[in-house]
C-alpha cells in the first residue's frame, strides 16, 4: 500500500490531534453551508482516520464512505460510531486504488493526508473517478499552527544531517499543486477558514512529541539515527530557548479548506 499508516498512533491520535470541544461541529456546519450539498449527498474521504471531519457530517444524515490503510484507525472510528445513527461505510483500502464504482459519490474530502502519500496524484485521479461530474472536492491542508513549525524544520534538517533523508516523501505542493494537477483554475475555487482557536505548549511538551514519536515524521527513522537526532533536537531547543524548557509558546490553529469543482 502507498502512504503512511497511522496504526502506531491510533490509540493516541485523538488525544494528540483531536479538535477542541465543539470545533468539529463548527467545521461540519461550515463545510455543509459552503458546499451547499443537498440532503442525501454521498461523501467520500480517503484517509478518514478516526473521523475528525467525517463523524459530525455523517451524524447529520449524510451517507459517508471512509477509506484508510490503517485498520487500527478505522477501529477507533468504529468505536465512536457505536450508539449513533451515522451512516458510514468504512473500508480498509489504498487511496490510490479506491474499491468503488465510477461517479458514485457527490463530494470528496481529504484532510491532511496527501503529504503522507508518495503517489498523491493517484489519490486525486481516483477522487476524480469516483466523484460525479459536477461534484465537489474539498481540500484541506494540515491544520495550520506555527507553534511547532520551527521544531519540524529543525527535525528535517537533523534528518538530512544524519542521513535519514527527506521525511514524508509525499505531497508538498500546496493548493496550487493540487489545482495544477486537476487542471482547475484558481478563480473557480473558494477558500474559507472554517475554524480557529488558540493553542499553547511548553518547549518540553513540544520536545516530548518527538521523544515519544507522536509526530509522524519520527516513525520511519532507524532507532540509532533517531537517538542522535533527538539529542540534536534537545541541544537545538536549549540553545534556541536559552535552556528554559518551561517557556510557553502561544499561537493560533486554523482549519482552512478550498472547495474545488470537478
Percent helix, strand and coil across the chain, each to the nearest 5: 40, 25, 35
Q: Exposed/middle/buried for 55, CB within 10 Å: 0-12, 13-18, 19+?
A: buried
Handedness of CA 166, 168, 174, 177 (dihedral sign): positive
Question: Which pLDDT does position 126 carry in this prediction?
Answer: 98
Question: Which pLDDT does position 149 carry in this prediction?
Answer: 86
E strand or H helix at 230: helix 223-240
pTM for this predicted structure:
0.90
Half-sphere exposure of 138 (CA within 13 A, CB side): 27
Structural domains of the chain ordered from first start = 7-261 (3.40.50.150)
Backbone angles phi, psi at 133, to 5 degrees: -55, 135
Question: Which pLDDT does position 1 carry in this prediction?
Answer: 43
Contact indicator for 90, 69 with CB cutoff of 8 Å? no
The whole-number mean pLDDT for each consecutive block of 10 residues of the chain, a chain of 262 residues, reads 78 87 95 92 96 95 96 95 90 96 98 88 97 96 73 92 73 84 96 93 96 89 94 97 95 93 96
Residue 61 grid coordinates:
444524515
Question: Which pLDDT does position 79 carry in this prediction?
Answer: 94
Q: How many helices (H) and strands (E) does the chain have?
A: 9, 7
**Distance between CA atoms of residues 69 and 97, nearest Å:** 11
Go through the chain and tell me how many residues it has: 262
Biggest alpha carbon distance in the chain? Answer: 57
Question: Which pLDDT does position 207 carry in this prediction?
Answer: 97
Amino acid at each position: 500500500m502507498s502512504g503512511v499508516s497511522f496504526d502506531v498512533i491510533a490509540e493516541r491520535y485523538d488525544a494528540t490531534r483531536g479538535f477542541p470541544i465543539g470545533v468539529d461541529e463548527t467545521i461540519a456546519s461550515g463545510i455543509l453551508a459552503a458546499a451547499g450539498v443537498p440532503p442525501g449527498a454521498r461523501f467520500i474521504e480517503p484517509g478518514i482516520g478516526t473521523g475528525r471531519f467525517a463523524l459530525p457530517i455523517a451524524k447529520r444524515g449524510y451517507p459517508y464512505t471512509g477509506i484508510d490503510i490503517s485498520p487500527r484507525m478505522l477501529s477507533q472510528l468504529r468505536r465512536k460510531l457505536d450508539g449513533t445513527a451515522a451512516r458510514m461505510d468504512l473500508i480498509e483500502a489504498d487511496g490510490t486504488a479506491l474499491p468503488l464504482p465510477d461517479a458514485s459519490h457527490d463530494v470528496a474530502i481529504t484532510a491532511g493526508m496527501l503529504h503522507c502519500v508518495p503517489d498523491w496524484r493517484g489519490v486525486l485521479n481516483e477522487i476524480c473517478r469516483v466523484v460525479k461530474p459536477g461534484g465537489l472536492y474539498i481540500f484541506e491542508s494540515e491544520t495550520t499552527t506555527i507553534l511547532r513549525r520551527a521544531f519540524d524544520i529543525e527535525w528535517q534538517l537533523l534528518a538530512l544531517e544524519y542521513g535519514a533523508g527527506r521525511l514524508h516523501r509525499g505531497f508538498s505542493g500546496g493548493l496550487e499543486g493540487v489545482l495544477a494537477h486537476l487542471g482547475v483554475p484558481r478563480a473557480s475555487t473558494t477558500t474559507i477558514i472554517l475554524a480557529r482557536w488558540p493553542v499553547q505548549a511548553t518547549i518540553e511538551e513540544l520536545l516530548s512529541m518527538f521523544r515519544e514519536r507522536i509526530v509522524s515524521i519520527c516513525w520511519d527513522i532507524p532507532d540509532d539515527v533517531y537517538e542522535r537526532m533527538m539529542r540534536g533536537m534537545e541541544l537545538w531547543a536549549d540553545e534556541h530557548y536559552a535552556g528554559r524548557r518551561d517557556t510557553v509558546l502561544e499561537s493560533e490553529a486554523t482549519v482552512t479548506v478550498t472547495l474545488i469543482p470537478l
